[in-house]
Amino acid sequence: MASGATALAAVSSIAAGADGSETVGYGGDGYGAGGYGGVDDSEPVDGSEREESVGPVIDRLELRDRSNPQWARVGVDWSVSHSDELLAEVESVLTGDGWGSISESTGVSGSNAAGEHGHRVRKGHGERYEVELTVTDTNGNTATETATIDL
């Protein structure tokens, strides 16, 4: 019987955790609370507050002149991140005076992504262009930044 008591003590110490917090599979109301092997995520056991997702973030937006004699070209270098690995899409929109806009989008995933979009306008030299970069996460949250370049 002594070996049974030792095993029970070992399970109890695992359930209580070294820091006094609960472990997976043992809820505050006893074994199996919140589902066997599950985690009750309604609030932390230690009384601290859960961090809320901050949504997507634009870490870098750089515009580069890549023009040639025939085309005004803008290189859009970007990097984005999301603390909860929920990235979904990055879109850049190039707008100039009086002619509308051109857009390019890239599907992304995970917590970090980087890339380049290339926009071009035939005979578009001597103009000021605006680029709006938007990153969207899987929940529909967005972050947007705008930059300008003279070509």
Domain presence at residue 85: yes
Q: What is the pLDDT of residue 98?
A: 75
DSSP letters for 50-77: PPPP--EEEEEEEEEE---SSEEEEEEE
Neighbours of 117 (CB within 10 A): 21
Tokens standing for residue 10:
């070992």
Residue 92 maps to which CATH number? 2.60.40.10
Total domains in the fold of the chain: 2
Give phi and psi for 49, each to the nearest 5.
Answer: -95, 145
Which domain, by its residues, includes 26? 1-43
pLDDT in tens, 55-110: 999 999 999 999 999 999 999 999 999 999 999 999 999 998 877 899 999 999 99
Indicate yes or no: pTM above 0.85: no
Q: What number is the average pLDDT over the span 18-43?
A: 44
How many angstroms separate the Cα of 123 from the Cα of each of 66, 67, 73? 13, 10, 10
